[in-house]
Chain A
Amino acid sequence: MELNRAPEAAEVAGVSPNYITTRLDALVNWGRSNSLWPMPFGTACCAIEFMATAAGRFDLARFGMERMSFSPRQADVFICAGRLPFKLAPILRRVWDQMPQPKWCISMGACASSGGIFDTYTMVQGIDTIVPVDVYVPGCPPRPEGLLYGIMLLQKKIKGESLADPTLRQEYLLDERGFYLPPEKVDEISEPFGNSVHQTRSA
């Protein structure tokens, strides 16, 4: 067989019918994206929709999420379903820190993504100021179809990842000022936000 010529399918099949060749990335990402174990962090009404998504009618198990991981140590994807008060923020941060790599985060619903209607003294204005978020699911609360679409988007994102890129698995620790994402960065990447008095997310 000439080495610079790709083997014909018949030749490969003739050698052994029991293997296929593929990219390692594709294989790993296929496995990861189809066996996501969610760590549900349900704090409000979004958790009800999340439970509906996990139950029989919508059946999250179709997407490889058969097992809810109620321990962060055996979880792949963190789903924050509901609003996050500042009192709960260090707990969410600790749960996220306890999850081993590779890990992803879905921010489910308006409140988790932006604070929603709760523009008050208690509420974190988007969990992306606490942990890095991969997929934002809009809605108040999102319907199960919306969450499923977000999960499928996450699977699509995972399938585009590469093992050669070490920054994907980077842990975002708190900087010396105590922020995970500096407020200047938050203001830079976000649109004018909030009510008429406070137009930035860090003010």
Chain B
Amino acid sequence: MRPPILRELTSCGDSIVEVAAGSAHALLQWLRDTPGQEFNYLVDVTAVDYRDPERPLEVVYQLRSLHRRVDLRVKVPLDKRATLAVDSVCDLWKGANWLEREVFDMFGVTFRGHPDLRRILMWETYAEGHPLRKDFPLRGHFTRAEQTRQALAANPEAHYSLEELSLAEAYDELPEDVRQRLAKGQRGFVR
């Protein structure tokens, strides 16, 4: 049973489907798993903030079916006056992890159920907001002097999460073959 959609349209030859935030995850799962749809590749997750304050912010999922060779764009409009939140699709496509982190960083959209939702482009202590929102001034909220002061006070190691730092510390606990591969400069496989 296909989850309900708001509307569908074709723009410049691209198929676009709009879906409410509540049923976005169900629809994306349906698109991935239903025979005849099989959109097994998540090309991109991004968002659009329009200049018109009445228009909702849109989270955009670009899907592709690799063997059917068709593309589909799924848009989720989010009311800017309410909480910007949508369900994470990390459980459907693992590659959505960093893409959703980028949308969170740049637009402030919260992805419910994301395993590690934190900033990815800006540093974690960045306090000026979400830069790609239309209400964000081009030069940032703070003065140049304050930005310089904060940058000079920053600790570069703080760009890494505790998980990433503990990965580096956990080198001794890795299996022997993985350590040998790392010693030779090979990256190994992501399991």
Contacts and interface: CB of A to CB of B under 8 A. Distances in A.
Interface string A161-203: 0000000000000100111100100100000000000100111
B155 A90 contact: yes
Contacts of A178: 149, 152-153
A112 B131 CA distance: 22
A87 B105 CA distance: 14
A120 B149 CA distance: 16
Given A121-B128, A179-B149, A87 B138 contact: no
Which of A86, A93, A178, A198 has the largest number of chain B CB atoms within 10 A? A86
Nearest to A179: B149
A68 B190 CA distance: 35
A45 to B, nearest CB: 20
A201 B138 CA distance: 15
Contacts, number: 68
Interface stretch (B26-34, B91-99, B139-147): B139-147
Categorize the interface residue count of chain B: 20 to 34
B171 interface: no
Interface string A120-136: 11101100011000000
B48 to A, nearest CB: 19
A129 B151 CA distance: 11
Interface of B: 122-123, 128, 131, 136-140, 143-145, 147-156, 159
Given A90-B153, A120-B139, A203-B143, 7 more contacts: A86-B148, A89-B151, A120-B138, A130-B148, A183-B144, A183-B148, A202-B145
